[in-house]
Structure 1
Amino acid sequence: MEFAREIYWNIGHDAIVLLPMYLLSLAAMAVAGWGFWQRIRVYRQGKPADRTTDPAGRLALLLRDALGQVKVLHVPGAGTAHALFFWGFALLFIGTLLIMAQADFTDPLFGLRFLKGNFYKAFSLTLDLAGAVSILMLLGLLVRRFIVRPAGLETKRDDVVMHALLLLILVTGFVIEGARMAVTELGTPLASWSPVGLIFAQSFAGFGEEGLRTLHAGTWWLHFALVLGFIGLIPFTKFRHIFTTPANYFLLDNGPKGRLSTLDLEDEAAESFGAAHVSNLSWKDIFDADACTQCKRCQDRCPAHNTDKPLSPMKIVNQIGELAFARPQDSLIDTCQKEALWACTTCLACQDICPASIEHVSKIVDMRRHLVLMEGEFPGEEVMGAVDALEVNGNPLGMGYASRGDWAAGLPVVTLAEDAEVDILYFVGCYASFDKRNQAVARSFVQLCAAAGVKVGILGKEEKCCGEPVRKLGNEYLYQSLAAGNMEQMQNYGVKKVVTTCPHCFNTLARDYRDLGFELEVEHYTVFLEGLVKSGRLKLRPEPFSATYHDSCTLGRYNDIYGSPRALLEMAGCELVEMDKNRAESFCCGAGGGRILAEEKLGSRISVKRVQMAAATAAPMLVSNCPFCLTMFEDGVKGAELDGRLIARDLAELLAARIQA
């Protein structure tokens, strides 16, 4: 016998059936299209943003992340269940399209039937298993949301509608299949190729043919109505993420991760800077709210939220959406709350884990920009003092600019004013220049360079803060002023290459300054030193020690530099004990986003939580590669009462102690 089945069995396939079926389908799609058009009108309240460059690359990213569920799978458990549900439901959709293609196009027009033979057997088995997997995964997600109810996972009417509707669509599909099979396939070899449908068919076997036909037809039309309802509801419920989330993969900022827009401060037409209302944000910022699935992954990863501060990146994004669609004239900052905005460390953990590629940080910084540039408001008086010090002396520590190079006394290092013919310019940064603890890191780096025969120059008193902390706090004006001064000095001296020991300086010079016309090569010292060791110019003497390593947010998540520091630790003889949260999942030290300048008054201290994670490894040493991290960890060790059990060290210090003569 030929393996096949009658399509539209018991329903009919004439104009009386097809015409209303297609008209109703078109009506449902029209409703969905109208709903999306209404939402597009709301997106357009925002300012322009070009997200169409490199369309081929963007499309490839969309297909990879959407079809492969790449970002969804970053978190096991719920992420795996969602991915399996997606793939199962997608296969069912493809199966429906194939049935429609044969029944309504290839068969009547060309007499071509492809749903037969071995292909039909594979088709039937695949769809049966896909439906079963979809139901099981949906039930698992239902139990998680409505019974387990993880902390912070908000359940709304949309969630009830989505779970109920999808479950009804899937179950009615099997009821239809079971009723058909009970009449046409029970007892035949074909039945075994639909194992789940066979279970339903066997349970319906006693209904009699007339009852089965009635059950089949009634459930078929109910199933069809449910599908139409599903289509029509897409733009009006969280179902819209079926389209908006993949679209967000296409619309992703394809520049450097965490990039902030560079304001044109000379724009005479600009009435204000920063974001006070949703109209001050870009259309993409509003669109992000529609792409958000409220999965709370960003909230779970947020160091501020995890230390009881009033910040939830998920809520910030959704509050923007709520204002855009309901109260666009309301204050964006009052709605999101200043305490939440100032709590952000801009660590990028929220964006890194987001399965919808939402950009949280730029929205927060835009609101901070309005607070600082238009209202003159900072998170505390201590920050205002640091900003004043920056304006006067070029550093936030209040130290005289003339003493910026004093740490280098007696070391093989020159200022460019003395001798501009150097191999590298060491951009020292504020903390390594003035903070005694971090001056030891600067000295260690110079010693390592000297051992490798690298001639090091510094700007000394001509160097100013790179501007990153105040930029993340919202003071774009001061940032650009500091940047202009630094760029002018480096260009005047004909600098060819810059190396920094501060990831914040590195990221700012290597990426942010590019928008201002800076083009010099910039490296972080971990990458630079790894190259010197591998080339044989720098020789290290391995000495065994045990340590855990902290991936700073700016070097790790912003720049994906994870291998070089670990390679250097291995070369130094380290037995590395990783913390649970490492690499892209590293937990912030608490100093980013300009928070290094602000007192941590709300919740518990982020640095304490991080050093407790380090202590849990039982390693006696916590190694970092950032002056902010080192400062925070030394304070955190004291705050966690871990003196004598854990010491904080910079990687450069460990390497300098192991220079091979």
Structure 2
Amino acid sequence: MEFTREIYWNVGHGVTTLAPMYLLALAAVSVLVYGAFRRIRIYRLGQPLKRSDQPAVRLAAMVRNVLLQTRVLRVKGPGVAHAIFFWGFVALFIGTSLIVVQADFTHLLFDVVFLKGTFYKIFSIVLDIAGGAAILMLSGLLVRRWIVRPQGLETKRDDVIMHSLLFTILLTGFLIEGARMAVTEINSPLSYWSPLGLVVAKGLGVSMTEPSLLTLHRGLWWLHLLLAMLFISLIPYTKFRHMLTTSMNYFFADRGPVGKLVTVDLENEEIETFGARQVTELSWKDIFDSDACTLCKRCQDRCPAFATDKPLSPMKLINRIGEIAATNPAMDLIDAVTKDAIWSCTTCCACQDICPASIEHVNKIIEMRRNLVLMEGEFPGEEVMAAMEQVEVNGNPLGMGYAARGDWAEGLNVPSLADDPHVDVLYFVGCYASFDKRNMKVARDFVTLCHAADIKVGILGKEEKCCGEPVRKMGNEYLYQTLAVENIETLQKYGVTKIVTSCPHCFNTLAKDYRDLGLTAHVESHAVFLAGLVQEGKLPLRPESFDCTYHDSCYLGRHNGIYAAPRQLIKAAGGHIVEMAKNRDQAFCCSAGGGRILAEEKLGTRINIKRVEMAAATGAQTLLSNCPFCLTMFEDGVKGANVEESLRPRDITEILVERLSG
């Protein structure tokens, strides 16, 4: 006898079953489509944004992230539970679809039955295991949400609906299977291919008669169908919609470069306002992001502002945008989100990096900052306004005269391009390495290393201006573009083809943002540049053993994926790294990004102190970094954390220059 089973057993396969079943399905799909179009109308409130380029790449990313749950699995625990539940549910959906295809199409129209024999046995056990795994994982997620209750995890009406409905659908599925098996397969070898169903069947068979089992099966079959149709119809009206929106968000995700901002066309006379004061001034993707959000709180958990008691929760900000778009698009977006939340962001990109739904948080905040600065002339503090005025006058936020920008290099035999444009690399120094005494030493050490490798390095000297990154991230797009255009014109005047910078903020800006304004020169971080010299044997080092911990700066790490080069340099110098708990792509911000280097930190506790405490907890005596902003913050942080005597902040170049051979 060939292994198979009767489809629609006990409920019939006639018009009295099929007609109401397909009418219910049609009604459910109609409600779903209607709800989807209502959501689309909300998305269309936003401004146009092209996200359909590179369709093959986008489609591949969507398939990979959906089917493999790649981004979801980056956080273990709930990520694993969600992924297994998803795979189990997908298997059940495919299995149900195969049953419908055979019963209502291939068998009905062509007398073709494929759910039989070995294939049916595999089909049976796979669905049995998938259903059991789905129930187990859903139970774990239920315990986490309602019993463990992780701090910050919000539980709303949608969560009750989702868990209740999914759990009931899965349980009724097993009860239906158990009732059928109790009548038809309880003593059959086929029953062993549904082990969980067999357990249910034996339990039901002990306490129920066959007529009762038939009645139970028929009633639960229709209930299961109704619940499944309810599930489909509720998708666009509840958090269930993330099944569609999160999947589509993988397709619509920014294809990079990471953290690159849209360059505003300041010459366009048709633009009446800059930035976003209302949701209608954001892009459609910004509104769509709110529907892709699952309120998993990963972004909130990783946010340095939220972790230090500031009024910014990336999760709540995204959902507030969605609420306003759906209920009152004319509402003042900035007042609704609050200015304190907007100014608290360090643009570290930790939220975007960890988001399982590919939501883009930072650009929304920058758009609101642009509106505050360009349309209202409003800044987070007087000190920020003063710094921007200094940038306008002297080309740097520190208030130092522009003519002294190259004085740090005195005695180092470093030509300015005005005197000698024939150099191997142009060192774009940045404001802090040019004027801040602590960071000037780093600049001098970098030049010393270049000379040791027989690299002729030049600078722009007084012709160099601030790259514009801090003022841009604070919202002053006009001042940024003014600085950028002047810097690019100077670089092009001297025919510069290769630029190295010791500031990750300068590196990120020149390598990405300046491209929109015409810069074509190759740009490298000094960490990558020096690591290359060491690998090529051009920079001879004398390793000396030492212990340290290393801080991945946000703009070298998450923004540009540079994690290996700095560690290679430390290893080449003889260093042993004791990693902080939060390192590499999970590194905690120093607090200076997003233009916050210009602002006083007045709300909550200090981010730099929290990061220094993480470093001190490793027991290492040296805290290495490769960013002038980070170094500045850590020099202040060790004082605030009272660890000046036990932890010394240093730049990697300082370690290397001490270990030069010969």
- 1:255-274 to 2 correspondence within 5 Å? 255-274=256-275
| Counterpart check, 1:222 vs 2:227 | no
Q: In the alignment, is the contact (CA less than 8 A) between 1:345 and 1:594 conserved in 2?
A: yes
Secondary structure of the structure 1 residue equivalent to 2:87: helix
Which residue matches 1:74?
74
CA distances 1:584-617 after superposition (whole Å, capped 9, x unpaired): 0000000000000000000000000001111111
Compute the RMSD of aligned alpha carbons. Answer: 0.6
Q: CA deviation at 1:211?
A: 0.6
Which residue matches 1:143?
143
Secondary structure of the structure 1 residue equivalent to 2:415: strand
Which residue matches 2:327?
326
Q: CA deviation at 1:105?
A: 1.3
- 1:173-252 to 2 correspondence within 5 Å? 173-205=173-205, 206-252=207-253
Secondary structure of the structure 1 residue equivalent to 2:613: helix
Deviates more, 1:29-38 or 1:97-106: 97-106
Cα distance in 2 between the residues matched to 1:423 and 1:392: 31
- 1:260-339 to 2 correspondence within 5 Å? 260-339=261-340
Q: In the alignment, is the contact (CA less than 8 A) between 1:307 and 1:604 conserved in 2?
A: yes
TM-score by length of 2: 0.99
Cα distance in 2 between the residues matched to 1:187 and 1:412: 92
After superposing on structure 2, the runs of 4+ consecutive aligned residues of structure 1 that deviate more than 3 Å are none
CA distances 1:38-74 after superposition (whole Å, capped 9, x unpaired): 0000100000000000111000000000111111111
Cα distance in 1 between the residues matched to 2:247 and 2:620: 42
Cα distance in 2 between the residues matched to 1:13 and 1:371: 65
Which residue matches 2:363?
362
Q: In the alignment, is the contact (CA less than 8 A) between 1:412 and 1:450 conserved in 2?
A: no
| Counterpart check, 1:22 vs 2:40 | no
Amino acid at match of 2:103: A
Which residue matches 1:460?
461
| Counterpart check, 1:572 vs 2:573 | yes
Amino acid at match of 2:380: P
Q: CA deviation at 1:15?
A: 1.9
CA distances 1:363-401 after superposition (whole Å, capped 9, x unpaired): 000000000000000000000010000000000000000
| Seq. identity, % | 66
| Counterpart check, 1:599 vs 2:595 | no
Deviates more, 1:39-48 or 1:533-542: 533-542
In structure 1, stretches of 5+ residues that fail to align are none
CA distances 1:432-476 after superposition (whole Å, capped 9, x unpaired): 000000000000000000000100100000000000001000000
Cα distance in 1 between the residues matched to 2:153 and 2:589: 23
Q: CA deviation at 1:570?
A: 0.5
Which residue matches 1:537?
538
Cα distance in 1 between the residues matched to 2:292 and 2:78: 18
Amino acid at match of 1:209: E
Amino acid at match of 1:348: C
Which residue matches 2:513?
512
Amino acid at match of 2:442: V
Cα distance in 2 between the residues matched to 1:535 and 1:295: 46
Q: In the alignment, is the contact (CA less than 8 A) between 1:502 and 1:625 conserved in 2?
A: yes
Which residue matches 2:524?
523
Cα distance in 2 between the residues matched to 1:80 and 1:611: 32
Which residue matches 1:122?
122
Secondary structure of the structure 1 residue equivalent to 2:649: strand
Which residue matches 1:93?
93
Amino acid at match of 1:172: T
Secondary structure of the structure 1 residue equivalent to 2:304: coil
Which residue matches 1:608?
609
Which residue matches 1:409?
410
Secondary structure of the structure 2 residue equivalent to 1:649: strand
TM-score by length of 1: 1.00
Cα distance in 1 between the residues matched to 2:542 and 2:345: 41
| Counterpart check, 1:484 vs 2:485 | yes
- 1:406-445 to 2 correspondence within 5 Å? 406-445=407-446
Cα distance in 1 between the residues matched to 2:278 and 2:399: 35
Q: Aligned pairs, how many?
A: 661
Cα distance in 2 between the residues matched to 1:341 and 1:79: 29
Secondary structure of the structure 2 residue equivalent to 1:548: strand
| Counterpart check, 1:621 vs 2:622 | yes
Which residue matches 2:105?
105
Amino acid at match of 1:134: A
Q: CA deviation at 1:109?
A: 2.1
Q: In the alignment, is the contact (CA less than 8 A) between 1:173 and 1:223 conserved in 2?
A: yes
Cα distance in 2 between the residues matched to 1:273 and 1:311: 23
Cα distance in 2 between the residues matched to 1:365 and 1:9: 60
Cα distance in 1 between the residues matched to 2:537 and 2:141: 55
| Counterpart check, 1:154 vs 2:154 | yes
Q: In the alignment, is the contact (CA less than 8 A) between 1:412 and 1:456 conserved in 2?
A: no
Cα distance in 2 between the residues matched to 1:645 and 1:489: 44
Amino acid at match of 1:136: L
Q: CA deviation at 1:110?
A: 2.2
Amino acid at match of 1:93: F
Cα distance in 1 between the residues matched to 2:162 and 2:552: 39
Amino acid at match of 1:359: E
